[in-house]
């Protein structure tokens, strides 16, 4: 399988899965971090990128559309092969190896040994913002939590990067990064910069 075609020294080509969710904000954040950002909707577009963001949105809808568009199996294969991937909110759910309370027909891409709970912090009207300390960042990030999940537990191979009110809200395992909150909505691009650096290192 093709795993990106960016020449050495060139800006990495980072895709954003553009089936449903806040694609535009991620594209802007990645561009601000020096990546060449592109929307991904088809398997051939997925094959061309060096890394991929799985955006927020509705995780069940995204998973069903990924199957419909023929993206689910190629995406799982790329993640298994080590393609850097970053999931926010719904994307965090998609990267979990197991969902505690899946909806009918919901699938995950996997890649992080964690169990997630959907809508763990509450429904849409219970969305909130909070300062979140993230390992490796000198100052807290402004976390926007919208129907956000949390990780109930993580395996030995996964590193917890952040917690909020005692719940795990950021995790990394190898080349897979996940946050329960939405940094793309805040103008703070430090996590996108970290992910872009992960993509460069993998390339």
Asked whether the beta carbons of 87 and 94 are under 8 A apart, the reply is yes
Asked whether the beta carbons of 115 and 133 are under 8 A apart, the reply is no
Task: Check pLDDT > 80 for residue 77.
Answer: yes
Task: Check pLDDT > 80 for residue 17.
Answer: yes
**Minimum mean pLDDT range among 21-25, 27-31, 72-76:** 21-25
Task: Check pLDDT > 90 for residue 130.
Answer: yes
Residue 171 token pair? 């995790």
Over residues 139-167, mean pLDDT:
97
3-state secondary structure of 102: coil
Catalytic residue among 89, 164, 189, 192: 89
Task: Check pLDDT > 90 for residue 195.
Answer: yes
Task: Check pLDDT > 80 for residue 105.
Answer: no
Active site residue 44: no
Over residues 38-53, mean pLDDT:
98
Domains and CATH numbers, the chain: 13-202 (3.40.50.880)
Residue 195's closest CA among 1, 5, 37? 37
Asked whether the beta carbons of 186 and 141 are under 8 A apart, the reply is yes
Over residues 95-113, mean pLDDT:
90
Catalytic residue among 25, 26, 33, 184: 184
Asked whether the beta carbons of 56 and 90 are under 8 A apart, the reply is yes
- pLDDT class of 69 with cuts at 50, 70, 90: very high
Asked whether the beta carbons of 22 and 28 are under 8 A apart, the reply is no
Question: Higher confidence at residue 176 or residue 2?
Answer: 176
Cα dist from 144 to 28, 130, 147, 169, whole Å: 17, 7, 10, 11
Tell me what pLDDT residue 34 has: 97
Measured in residues, the chain has a length of: 203
Tell me what pLDDT residue 7 has: 66
Active site residue 182: yes
Q: Tell how far CA 42 is from the center of its chain.
A: 18
Over residues 165-192, mean pLDDT:
97
Quickly tell me which residue has 């949390």 as its tokens: 150
Tell me what pLDDT residue 6 has: 73
Tell me what pLDDT residue 102 has: 80
Share the mean pLDDT of the chain.
Answer: 94
Over residues 140-149, mean pLDDT:
96
What is the distance between the alpha carbons of residues 168 and 81, in angstroms, rounded to a whole number? 26
Residue 168 token pair? 């795990």
Residue 106's closest CA among 124, 119, 93, 115? 93
Tell me what pLDDT residue 76 has: 98
Active site residue 89: yes
Question: Higher confidence at residue 132 or residue 125?
Answer: 132
What is the distance between the alpha carbons of residues 112 and 18, in angstroms, rounded to a whole number? 21
Percent pLDDT > 90 in the chain is 87
Tell me what pLDDT residue 3 has: 63
Task: Check pLDDT > 70 for residue 140.
Answer: yes
């Amino acid at each position: 399988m093709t795993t990106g075609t960016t020449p050495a020294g060139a800006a990495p080509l980072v895709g954003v899965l553009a089936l449903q969710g806040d694609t535009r904000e991620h594209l802007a954040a990645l561009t601000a971090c020096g990546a060449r950002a592109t929307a991904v909707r088809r398997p051939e577009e997925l094959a061309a990128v060096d890394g991929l963001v799985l955006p927020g949105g509705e995780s069940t809808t995204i998973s069903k559309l990924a199957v419909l568009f023929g993206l689910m199996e190629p995406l799982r294969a790329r993640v298994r092969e080590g393609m850097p991937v970053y999931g926010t909110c719904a994307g965090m759910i998609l990267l979990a190896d197991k969902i505690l309370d899946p909806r009918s027909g919901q699938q995950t891409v996997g890649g992080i040994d964690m169990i997630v709970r959907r809508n763990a912090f509450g429904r849409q009207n219970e969305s909130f913002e909070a300062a979140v300390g993230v390992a490796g960042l000198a100052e807290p990030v402004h976390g926007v939590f919208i129907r956000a999940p949390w990780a109930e537990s993580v395996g030995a191979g996964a590193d917890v990067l952040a917690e909020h009110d005692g719940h795990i809200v950021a995790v990394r395992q190898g080349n897979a990064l996940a946050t329960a909150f939405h940094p793309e909505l805040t103008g703070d691009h430090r996590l996108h910069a970290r992910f872009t650096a992960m993509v460069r290192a993998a390339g």
